[in-house]
A = this chain, B = another copy of it.
C-alpha cells in the first residue's frame, strides 16, 4: 500500500468515525454512547479509534462539526431560492421532512445542546451555541431582506419554535405535531408584511 492510498484510507476512517459519531450520539445520547459503540458503527476496530481521536470529547466535537456542515449545506441550497420568503418556508419544510426522526430522537443540535450543557469540561457547550448561532444568523438575514422590523427577534422566534416543536414531537412521540406547527409557521411567514 503506497503512501497515497494509505493516506486515503486514513482519511476514510476518520470520516467514517465522524459520520458514525454524529449518528450514534444523536441516537443514544452522548453519555450513553461508548467509544466502542461509535467504532462498531463506523466499522473501525475499537482499539484503533484513539489513533484518530485522542479523547471522547474530540469525537463529540467532530460530530458537532458534522451537524454544522449539514446546516451549511442546507442553507446554501436554500440560498438558491428566489426570495427570502421562499427560503424561510423552505427551511420550515426541511424541518417538517425530518418529523419522523424528530419523533424518535429530537433535533440533533438541540439534544446535543442540552447534553453538552451538563458537560462543562472542554467548552463543547459553547461550541454548540455557535452552531445554533449560525442558523440564527442565516434566518435573521432572511428576515432582514424581507424588511420586517426586529429581524433578530423574528429569528429567535422561528428557531425557538423549531426547537420547541422538536422537543414536544419527541417527548410525545408524535410526528404530526411537527406537521401542524410547520404549517402554522409557514402561514405566519406568508402573512408577514414590511414594517
- Residue numbers of A with Cβ under 8 A of B are 28-29, 31-32, 105-106, 110-111, 113-115, 117-119, 125, 128-129, 132-133, 153, 156-157, 159-165, 167-168, 170-173, 177, 180-181, 184
Cβ-defined contact, B113 with A170, below 8 A: yes
Question: A129 touching B164 by the CB < 8 A rule?
Answer: no
Residues of B within 8 A of A117 (CB): 29, 105-106, 111, 170-171
With A111-B114, A117-B105: A172-B32 Cβ-Cβ less than 8 Å: no
A164 with B170: CB separation less than 8 A: no
Among all A-B residue pairs, the 6 with the closest Cβ atoms:
A164-B164, A160-B164, A31-B31, A29-B118, A163-B164, A113-B171
How close is A174's CB to chain B, nearest CB, in angstroms?
Answer: 9
Closest to A132 in B: B171
A159 and B161 CA atoms in complex are apart in Å by 10
Q: Which of B167, B172, B177 meets A164, CB within 8 Å? A: B167
Can you sample 8 A-B contacts with CB below 8 Å? A29-B31, A29-B117, A31-B118, A128-B171, A129-B172, A156-B168, A159-B164, A159-B168
